[in-house]
């Protein structure tokens, strides 16, 4: 079975930093695309950042310059370094992974989420 397990969330003051990790297990392949989404109370889940197996990255405008996504293909792990955190970043962060079966069709996998709270 495929599992994505997030860790690293917690409570941090505005301006602080956190590093999230997501470890994929139960696979014998490398996900073509992995990333992070977040969902705040009363809001829709939104894309935060993605990274391909080749290292190409994309970021939401709201986190550009503050967050950095990276991955360790050998460990099947993706990371999200979050700096200069703001109260607006408070949300449950979810790890996402996509396995393509064709050029346009993929299977979506999700982690259980980890809480990030930015508050004084």
Euclidean distance between CA atoms 100 and 33, whole angstroms: 9
Task: Provide, rounded to the nearest whole percent, the portion of the chain with pLDDT above 90.
Answer: 88
Does residue 60 carry a pLDDT above 90?
Answer: yes
Average pLDDT of the segment spanning 55-75? 95
| Element holding 68 (H helix, E strand) | strand 67-72
Phi, psi angles (nearest 5°) of residue 87: -55, -30
Please tell me the predicted confidence (pLDDT) of residue 29: 83
Q: What is the mean pLDDT of the chain?
A: 95
End-to-end Cα distance, the chain: 40
């Amino acid at each position: 079975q495929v599992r994505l397990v997030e860790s690293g969330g917690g409570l941090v003051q505005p301006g602080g930093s956190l590093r999230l990790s997501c470890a994929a297990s139960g696979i014998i392949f490398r996900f073509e695309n992995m990333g992070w989404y977040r969902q705040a109370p009363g809001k829709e889940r939104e894309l935060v950042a993605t990274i391909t197996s080749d290292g190409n990255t994309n970021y939401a405008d709201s986190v550009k310059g503050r967050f950095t996504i990276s991955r360790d293909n050998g460990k099947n792990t993706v990371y999200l370094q979050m700096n200069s955190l703001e109260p607006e970043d408070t949300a449950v962060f979810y790890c996402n992974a996509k396995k393509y079966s064709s050029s346009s069709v993929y299977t979506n996998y999700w982690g259980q989420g980890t809480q990030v709270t930015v508050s004084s």
